[in-house]
Structure 1
Amino acid sequence: MTVAKKLWLRNVIGDVTTEQYFALRKKNKKTIKMLMLVVILFAVCWFPLNCYVILLSSQTIHTNNALYFAFHWFAMSSTCYNPFIYCWLNDSFRSELKALLNVCRKPPGPTEQRLPSTVPSYRLAWPENGNFKRLQVSHVLPSASNIQSGKTDISAVEPIVAVS
């Protein structure tokens, strides 16, 4: 109530036109409505757990883990509702959220281009003749299943260090 009172009674410094005054009042009403909704929702969510704990501590009822878990879950869920309330009642929160989502959105990339299957895209790691020079192989083609699946044949891997 103190925060709501402060919000309602604060004044703008400087000259204010009638339109500005009514716009400020409307904005203050919306802010106080949002504040009250957050507080009421918090109270509603935490009330069952607090009542349950008071009844347990006064030994009026016996403990029930399932009931405690349900009340505790409901109480903790109160924090999940706040962003929805802010998005609904706060224009600046909504615009910042939209800007953030636009930044996080993946930019459209170029369409994938597949290499033609007639061009070999690898070299033999260890040719059969024992010569460890890098040789371009033009007569050995990868299998069609490897091209389509994107898998690398182990014999197509080049060594990092050549053995002499």
Structure 2
Amino acid sequence: MSVRERRMPFDAVGFSSEAKVQNPPAPSSRLRALWQAFQRGVRRASDRGDLVASIAMLEEARTLIEDEDRWIQGRYLKNGRRCAMGALQEAGRHYRRGVRRDAVTELLKVARIRGHHSIESMNDNISHREVVVAFDTAIAGIVARRA
């Protein structure tokens, strides 16, 4: 037998070329339905959770400027003192974008009701006590939406 005629080990002789490799099974429709139901539930819970988180963010921001010595007008931040928007920015660092947006939007609604075009304008043109009350009003607005 010549070298060409010798069979090599594992040369696939004897294996059918019609052998098929099975694709991995697709997820069952039941599993898919369960996953979709879970996702819907998460979204609903997340919406409720976002409102709670928005309340918490407003409360944190309020706490940052609750003491008049830690509040400032005309600037976002100076020597550890913050305006309303600066307090929102600091408190919002730990929250998702949607939570931050809801909290800022609620306080902006309060500012506009009081005749201001922005949170900054409200902060710079009213007293410290009125700014703190504006935060309380914004928190109450989200609590009312949550009910």
TM-score, length-scaled by structure 1: 0.33
TM-score, length-scaled by structure 2: 0.36
Looking at both structures, which has the greater relative contact order when contacts are Cα pairs under 8 Å and sequence separation is at least 6? 2
* Larger helix percent: 2
Tell me which structure has the larger Cα radius of gyration. Answer: 1
